[in-house]
């Protein structure tokens, strides 16, 4: 088991960064794995990149065996969010969310990719969903983590304005980082008086120090001006798997989005005691649902690795609509996603 896991993790070392010129500036794409395999595109949340948003998921040995066995990974960073990025010139126009979605099309065309699987987190989930609405034939499936689909609420708008002003005048200061960590993580891992911050929060805090504040501000402004895409969800033809932490600030948004999608092709997983960034806080909670989701596409774990992925989701906290045969293309007993309060 250890040898097999090491082989899959070693495969991630064969990576290359590409700077792709698009119709709205350049974008960094980190490519992991064999480019002859089907493509899996990722897009992170605000102020994050693949290292700070997807490392927890892709460094799980079980996830490595499942995802790297089946896919070549294309990590797209929002403009100026890649490792070592320079500050973007103030004179450059701020891209719209449509511009960011169109950049994904340019990336797919650059690598000569046809239809792709997508994983996005919060703001990144919005961009990928918008891309899927605009270019339906280019998306095989969506795996969305704490996604957005509506225009900002008054609460989010106010929080974004505060962060925008702080970023503009003070850069990536302590208060901005606290706002972002609240956006990403549950209180249990952020810590409080008697409990210290967890290692993942401390690591994320350090990575946030590396972001150029002007670049984060530009992505924040784009997301803050996003339109409501609820109506467009009805046009989606691909299967969609949604994860959301029960303690995420965007929990109600994920429920709203799930309710607007075609129930035959969508499923919701609510992760207990977790914030928005399930990929980092509880990545093992994603493994079993993702594995079942991919089975609907004829994709499986390699036969060398035995046993099922570990997951904190127990059979007692799962609701009937998750991964039904109709939605996931499976001949399996339906799994639940919610703990019922009724007896």
Q: Cα torsion for 29, 55, 4, 72, to the nearest 10°?
A: -20
Distance CA(261)–CA(318), nearest Å, equals: 19
Contact 77, 44 (CB under 8 A): yes
Greater confidence (341 vs 55) lies with 55
pLDDT at 314 over 80: no
pLDDT, tens digit, for every residue of 56-94? 999 888 887 899 999 999 999 999 999 999 999 999 999
69, β-bridge pairs: none
Two tokens, residue 343: 């007896």
* Interval 20-29 mean pLDDT: 96
Q: Which of 79-93, 211-225, 295-309 has the lowest mean pLDDT?
A: 295-309
pLDDT at 325 over 80: no
Distance CA(49)–CA(125), nearest Å, equals: 13
DSSP summary character for residue 80: T
Concatenated DSSP letters of 258-278: HHHS-GGGEEEEEETT--S-H
Of the pLDDT bands very low, low, confident and very high (cuts 50, 70, 90), residue 302 is confident
pLDDT at 306 over 50: no
Distance CA(235)–CA(231), nearest Å, equals: 8
Using a 10 angstrom Cβ sphere, with 0-12 exposed, 13-18 middle and 19 or more buried, the burial of residue 340 is: exposed
- What pTM was estimated for this model as a whole? 0.86
Q: What is the pLDDT of residue 35?
A: 94
Of the pLDDT bands very low, low, confident and very high (cuts 50, 70, 90), residue 195 is confident
Distance CA(181)–CA(176), nearest Å, equals: 9
Distance CA(268)–CA(324), nearest Å, equals: 11
Alpha carbon 7 to chain centroid, angstroms:
25
Per-position b or e across 240-271, b if 16+ CB within 10 A of its CB: bbbbbbebbbbbebbebbbebbeeebbbbbbb
Residues 6+ apart with CB under 8 A from 217: 164, 167, 168
Distance CA(292)–CA(182), nearest Å, equals: 31
* Interval 230-249 mean pLDDT: 95
pLDDT, tens digit, for every residue of 42-52? 999 999 999 99
**How far, in Å, are 95, 157, 243, 303 from residue 296 at the CA level?**
36, 38, 18, 17
Concatenated DSSP letters of 127-140: HHHHHHHH-GGGEE
Percentage of the chain lying above the pLDDT 90 cut: 78
Of the pLDDT bands very low, low, confident and very high (cuts 50, 70, 90), residue 303 is low
Strand 116-121 and strand 72-76: the pairing is unpaired
Contact 126, 233 (CB under 8 A): no
Q: What is the pLDDT of residue 15?
A: 83
The secondary element (H helix, E strand) that includes residue 295 is helix 284-295
Q: What is the pLDDT of residue 63?
A: 84
């Amino acid at each position: 088991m250890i040898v097999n896991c090491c082989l899959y993790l070693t495969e991630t070392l064969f990576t290359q960064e590409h700077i792709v010129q698009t119709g709205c500036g350049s974008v960094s794409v980190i490519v992991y794995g064999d480019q002859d395999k089907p493509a899996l595109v990722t897009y992170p949340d605000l102020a994050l990149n693949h290292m700070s948003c997807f490392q927890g998921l892709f460094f799980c040995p079980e996830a490595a065996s499942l995802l790297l066995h089946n896919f070549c990974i294309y990590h797209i960073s929002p403009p100026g969010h890649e490792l070592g990025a320079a500050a973007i010139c103030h004179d450059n126009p701020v891209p719209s969310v449509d511009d960011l979605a169109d950049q994904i099309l340019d990336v797919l065309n650059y690598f000569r990719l046809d239809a792709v699987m997508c994983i996005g987190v919060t703001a990144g989930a919005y961009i990928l969903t918008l891309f899927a609405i605009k270019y339906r034939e280019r998306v095989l499936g969506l795996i969305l983590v704490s996604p957005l689909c509506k225009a900002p609420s008054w609460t989010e708008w106010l929080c974004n304005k505060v962060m925008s002003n702080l970023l503009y005048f003070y850069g990536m200061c302590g208060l901005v980082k606290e706002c972002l960590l609240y956006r990403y993580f549950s209180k249990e891992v952020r810590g409080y008086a008697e409990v210290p911050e967890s290692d993942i929060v401390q690591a994320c805090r350090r990575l946030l120090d590396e972001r150029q504040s002007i670049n984060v501000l530009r992505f924040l402004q784009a997301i803050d001006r996003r339109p409501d895409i609820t109506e467009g969800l009805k046009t989606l033809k691909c299967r969609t798997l949604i994860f959301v932490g029960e303690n995420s600030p965007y929990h109600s948004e994920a429920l709203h989005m799930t309710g607007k999608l075609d129930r035959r092709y969508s499923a919701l997983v609510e992760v207990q005691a977790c914030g928005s960034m399930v990929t980092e806080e509880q990545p093992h909670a994603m493994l079993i649902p993702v594995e079942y989701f991919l089975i609907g596409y004829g994709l499986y774990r390699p036969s060398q690795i035995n046993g099922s992925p570990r997951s904190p989701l127990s059979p007692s906290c799962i609701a009937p609509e998750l991964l039904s045969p109709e939605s996931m293309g499976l001949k399996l007993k339906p799994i639940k996603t919610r703990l019922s309060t009724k007896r």
